[in-house]
Structure 1
Amino acid sequence: MVKVGIDKIGFFTSPYFIDMTELANRRHEEPGKFLIGLGQKQQAVIPPTQDVVTLAANAANKILTKADKDKIDTVIFGTETGIDNSKSAAIYVQALLGISKHARSFEIKQACYGGTAGLQMAVEHIRLHPDSQVLVLAADIARYGLQTPGEATQGGGAVAMLVAAEPRILEIEDKRSFYSDNIMDFWRPLYRRDAVVDGHYSNNVYIDFFKQTWQTYQRDYHCNIDDFQAMAFHLPYTKMGLKALRSIVNQSHHPERLLAQFESSRVYNACVGNLYTGSLYLSLISLLANSETLQHGDLVGLFSYGSGAQGEFYSGRISEQFDRRPLKTDMEAMLSKRQKLTISQYEEMYQAGLPLSGGDKQFDTASDHSPFILEGRHEDQRIYRQN
């Protein structure tokens, strides 16, 4: 069987962030509640000149060549921060990037699971059509509202993955397990910009779904935890993944190895925050870039979760061609260039953006030097520009 998986991967987030200690102090909370209890150090703040379309386009722009754009025959966009109830965000990105108009483009929604659904669809497509390529996008802006219990788990960004045969990063195995149930742990009605969440309930469901999918995977594929060199998790905040790992790590003869790899996998998430569909894949980037012990051929487990709810556990092997150094250099350069906002500046930026009530809006774009930006809205149409 042809090897299929992630050939290229890119990440983009806002050039602005806040410090979680400063947020805790402003909210009259102990900083340890955010730094240790949640495992978060910083949080990306998305300006009004960026939305999921521009975030995804900027992420993909970092990895795609002209040859890639000509070869891509499918664009799949996983998001729960949709910009339209009808038209997909994928169509906008396809046009902004100049991807072949002969490609299929569509959007997938199932809370934070959409990116994984898109990745698995892409893998199956390449197995049938090994000469083609698929662009998978996972982009979101996590919002719970100012001075709410969920405020400390906000953030945003985008991951772009080019899926192809003979991949140079991660070979996706044809092994996966699922678990789903109709529950109300997190949702966002059409009339709200901010999500509604039952935090404690969602935490419990997340761990339950992880155990369900992990146990099914073990049973179906006759494996054990020590077959895996590392595990990557959906990380709306990094402590959540650690709780899930701790629920099974006693099954391992080498628990310290898995725990050390987890620390590598949460470095960037702790500095960016929650990006919903992209959170698992930012964690994967963090693992690949920061682990000094992963080797070619090592098996990595991946747990994806989307509230409402859908869980999936699947596996991949590090490609023989993988080199972590360019990925680490790019990530650290981007994160180091960000500007720290005061809490007052963050609050002002948070409340900017396109109003749900409609109407024309023109943004001041002078300070956003990203390759792709959102200029505003005119006659109910979003206006995008390439710098």
Structure 2
Amino acid sequence: MQIGIDQLAFYTPKTYLDLVDLAHARGEEPDKYRIGIGQYEQAVIPVTQDAVTLAANAAVKVVNETNRDQIAMILFGTESGIDHSKSAAVYLKRLLNLPDNLRAVEIKQACYGATAGLQFAHDYVRLHPDKQVLVIGADIARYGLNTPGEVTQGGGAVAMTISAAPKLLNLDNETAFRSEDIMDFWRPLYRTEALVDGRFSENVYIDFFKTVWLDYQRQTNRTIADFTAFAFHLPFTKMGLKALRAVLPEADAEQQKQLKTNFEASRQYNRRVGNLYTGSLYLSLRSLFDNAVLKPGQRIGLFSYGSGAEGEFFSGTISEQFDAQQSRQRFSEFFSSRQQLTMAQYERLFSQQLPDHDVLLDVTHDDARFVLAGIKHDQRQYLDRNKA
């Protein structure tokens, strides 16, 4: 029985910053960001969007009347949770009008949370092949204005349905994972911006990738020759390129060329959106599906990494039903419709934060279906414009 990713959708607001403008404003050469970091643009998230609304705006693209009653679980990976106690998945379940007889759980381990959800979903569907699981990765990456991490900010959400007989990717059963208590990135409960030891985190990322890649090879007896492409967690796209270069010598010249070409396809969306934390790997996978020349049966390797730290290498084969044409068109339309912000607009939007008390937000500048309208009696007020 084949189990894997049936649908994979993405959402981020239309407001974005061109990193050439950011470089000029911060006294840096644009190529430091465009080539050295591998980023061109980054999404800027308004105060009327949070992890829940981002997830809902992505999930409505994969949840409809044909599969609504099949969904037995929501697994919501995020490190941008809105409550110390209540799961973001419960809010999402209501916004999507899903049945009450399902599980709704939030998962946290830095950028790895959505992958944990994917693997749990895989095991569940194996036992319940008539059901589907909705897996979410939704985050807002914030490091602060005029900080070293500013260039790697961003945000958005991916939504995946995991099912039997999937239309996109059949997941292999074998997987290799590793976890260690490492302080390369963290955000204490009292902070809205993350703390990161950048160079150390890059080294840990590469070390984890090489370790789980070797473990995967020992388990499966597969080699790099068995892979058409790799998709990576991309906090910034140069990071994935560094990981790919660590294993390229294992491939012959022809395959090295193919792997590099497909990596370029896999980072097209990420370099224009920025860091998604839990959703980053899966936006890269979506970009690979849409921008590479792929065929059913080809094997894709995926590397997930969450600082703190946890890493996993797993794989899957392209489904016989694979067709990326509609997704490719939607992304093309999305990028052409975005609103570029000036530096002043970006800094003003970035600095708007929810207060610690009740507030009514102006949602007229946010055209999303789901928005955060404010706080009342310490409860977030979500608006579905289709029901307003």
Which TM-score bucket, shorter chain as reference? Answer: over 0.9
Q: Is the 8 A contact 2:13 2:368 kept in 1?
A: no
CA distance in 2, matches of 1:165, 1:220: 24
Q: Is the 8 A contact 2:361 2:374 kept in 1?
A: yes
SS, match of residue 138 in structure 1: strand
CA distance in 2, matches of 1:86, 1:334: 35
Q: Identity percentage over the alignment?
A: 55
CA distance in 2, matches of 1:119, 1:56: 15
One-letter code of the match for 1:361? V
Aligned equivalent of 2:359 = 361
The runs of 5 or more residues in structure 1 that have no matched partner are none
| 1:286 and 2:284 correspond | no
One-letter code of the match for 1:274? N
Shift of 1:67: 2.8
Query: What is the 5 A alignment of 1:1-387?
Result: 2-253=1-252, 254-292=255-293, 294-355=294-355, 358-387=356-385
SS, match of residue 216 in structure 1: helix
One-letter code of the match for 2:69? D
Shift of 1:360: 1.1
Shift of 1:55: 0.5
CA distance in 2, matches of 1:213, 1:282: 21
One-letter code of the match for 1:314? F
CA distance in 2, matches of 1:80, 1:162: 20
SS, match of residue 247 in structure 1: helix
CA distance in 1, matches of 2:308, 2:205: 10
Between the two proteins, the alignment pairs up a number of residues equal to 383
Shift of 1:68: 1.4
Shift of 1:353: 2.4
CA distance in 2, matches of 1:226, 1:34: 32
Shift of 1:335: 2.0
The normalised TM-score by structure 2 is: 0.98
Summarize deviations over 1:222-273 as a string: whole Å, max 9, x none: 0110100000000000000000000110100121110100000000000000
CA distance in 2, matches of 1:145, 1:123: 37
The runs of 5 or more residues in structure 2 that have no matched partner are none
CA distance in 2, matches of 1:257, 1:67: 37
One-letter code of the match for 2:344? S
The normalised TM-score by structure 1 is: 0.98
CA distance in 2, matches of 1:69, 1:383: 24
SS, match of residue 261 in structure 2: helix
CA distance in 1, matches of 2:25, 2:360: 31
CA distance in 2, matches of 1:276, 1:359: 28
SS, match of residue 190 in structure 2: coil
RMSD (Å) for aligned C-alpha atoms: 0.7
SS, match of residue 320 in structure 1: coil
CA distance in 1, matches of 2:315, 2:298: 10
Shift of 1:180: 1.1
CA distance in 1, matches of 2:246, 2:96: 43
SS, match of residue 349 in structure 1: helix
